[in-house]
Amino acid sequence: MNIKIITVGKLKEQFLKDGIAEYAKRLSKFAKFNIIEVQDEKAPEQLSETQMQQVMAKEGERILSKIKDKEYVFVLAIKGKERTSEALAHEIDQLAVTGHSDITFVIGGSLGTDPSVNQRANTLISFGKFTLPHQLMRLVLTEQIYRSFMINIGSPYHK
């Protein structure tokens, strides 16, 4: 199985890099795992609606260029469906069983994801109503992917 996270922008904080590296190492027992960073679009603090759409469109093009046709795509979105850890684990397990061995998760930039990215998604997923920095979301998502595999093998890690 191949698991990929596509995310906008570079990760700067070392403590987040360390946490992600730890979960990536643990995940390597179950799947090929990698994170692809696409460049964020530079923009002023105050943006008009048109400027916001332009920024999201450019970031969206960069994201879509990293997704292959055969990949099953989860896009993290506020309007996505919330899942429990068990439900995500079951979904990943079922994808593997039904021949979807390439799974991609997308974390958009600070403005969110362009509608074109959401349309490419097989499913939109939400981690709740909290607003989290997208750099922190990388760590949370990586841990939840690892947790999914641990649930699927019946490990006590999840308890």
Which domains occur in the chain, in start order? 2-158 (3.40.1280.10)
Q: What's the rounded Cα separation, in Å, for the pair 110 and 120?
A: 19
pLDDT value for 44: 80
3-class secondary-structure state, position 119? helix
Ordered mean pLDDT values, 10 residues apiece, the chain (159 residues): 96 96 97 97 88 96 97 95 96 95 96 96 94 91 97 88
Q: Is 80 annotated as a binding residue?
A: no
DSSP H or E segment with residue 126: strand 123-126
pLDDT value for 157: 86
3-class secondary-structure state, position 26? helix
Q: Is 76 annotated as a binding residue?
A: yes
Is 56 within 8 Å of 112 (Cβ atoms)?
Answer: yes
Q: Look at residues 37, 30, 87 and name the one whose alpha carbon lies nearest to residue 63.
A: 37
pLDDT value for 57: 97
